Chains A and B, each alone.
Chain A
């Protein structure tokens, strides 16, 4: 299978605190990968390193055969091919729903406003927010904001979608609507990399589950392997803590 992103020997330290230690990891085209693990295990940092919101301390990130950590590489061109969904939504407060989904297309991909609007409406429809084009972010609920954030990322038509705990800041009753959208997306063959605490969701949607612990990938495999027959003791301990 063709891999989209390959991470080699990636490490990241904040001061003298080593958050990621020698991570080797790849995402294949069309694959849905869920990263699970307890807080502080480095899973969010890994995701943020992949789109360079955090600068890795060492290692390589290979995208289309090129090391994007190379100084000469244009990181803006790379980032526009990765969609990112944040825990805190981070919708642009000065734009309404529609222009949140358009501004990146117009400014970064240089699409015409007409084309950008068509694309934006298409994806707002996918997430069920096309009726709210005129609303400002502050007028929306958390679940609605997150669905718009997903549409904004999709509007850039990225190679990979990265989700950084997309439901962790939501009220319990709104988690479902966001997960439902993500499930639908997973069914369309989109490549997705999801950091999540939603074990049921991971079990159901993931092609592969990566369990991280203390800055290393402790175990990875199919949801079946990880959830039903974990080999590592720490995976067993983590699952016991979270599933009980």
Chain B
């Protein structure tokens, strides 16, 4: 083993490593985004206050039960095993031959969704009760309250935890090689198989994983700072009305 050998391995196999890293990023980015959306939806539904009417109350109970089962099941089983069960199970039971990449994105999404649902619920609970009361007092319903007041604050607060989840996803997509997804680990294994060298390809993969996760960390830090906004504000003397509606001073949509 030598530095030269590693460099020559990169120059000879860089398309494979790059494709693998690209696939890993694709799966983890889309998986994290879908997972976050699932988590936000589940979090909002699970914090709906108990309705007055009996029928609505029963419907909500059933929906919450389904969500609990989903969350507990996917948090409680390994993603590797889920991948095998879903990919081969769908072929066996329904005769569906799932596209491997789609299957990978699906598995990472629902897995992340289960974790994110709990993260979001924690985030919603941590918001001061006064924020909900003030929103209700001006006549907002649960979804308006969530959309305009609570979720923007929740998203800010759960960003570090979401970043964690993203980084975990980048690393954990490596287990998806069991269903033959050509992500980074799979590609490194292939290079190892061709060259009969084991240390070098996995060392390269290791560096690539770290570059990806650390970049994500830096980007999320930047977003956090952006969301926090400037420390200072400017006073307005006599505001000319047409100048007021700039994007920076209203965030209603």
Contacts and interface: CB of A to CB of B under 8 A. Distances in A.
A197 interface: no
Interface in A83-102: 83-84, 86, 88-96, 98-99, 102
Given A80-B139, A134-B249, A92 B239 contact: no
Interface in B233-252: 233-237, 239, 241, 244-245, 248-252
B140 A108 contact: yes
Contacts, number: 120
A156 B53 contact: no
B66 interface: no
B241 A51 contact: no
Given A71-B52, A79-B137, A131 B251 contact: no
| Chain B interface, DSSP helix/strand/loop, else mixed | loop
A139 interface: yes
Contacts of B138: 79-80, 83-84, 104, 108, 152-153, 156
Interface residues of A, number: 47
A114 B245 contact: yes
A98 B249 contact: yes
A211 B196 CA distance: 89
B156 A94 contact: yes
A76 B134 contact: no
B133 interface: yes
The residue among B149, B156, B245 with the most chain A CB atoms within 10 A of its own CB is B149
Given A94-B149, A103-B149, A53 B251 contact: no
B95 interface: no
Interface in A27-62: 51, 53
B47 interface: no
Nearest to B145: A107
B139 A108 contact: yes
Interface string A125-162: 00000111111100100000000010011001000000
B76 interface: no
B78 interface: no
Contacts of B250: 96, 98-99, 102, 113, 117
Nearest to B134: A90
B136 interface: yes
Nearest to A85: B137
Interface in B191-232: 229, 232
B252 A99 contact: yes
7 contacts: A71-B52, A78-B139, A91-B134, A99-B251, A103-B148, A104-B140, A135-B233
Interface of B: 52-53, 128, 130-131, 133-141, 144, 148-149, 152-153, 156, 229, 232-237, 239, 241, 244-245, 248-252
The 10 closest A-B CB pairs, nearest first, are A80-B139, A90-B130, A90-B134, A104-B138, A84-B137, A135-B233, A94-B152, A108-B139, A79-B139, A134-B233
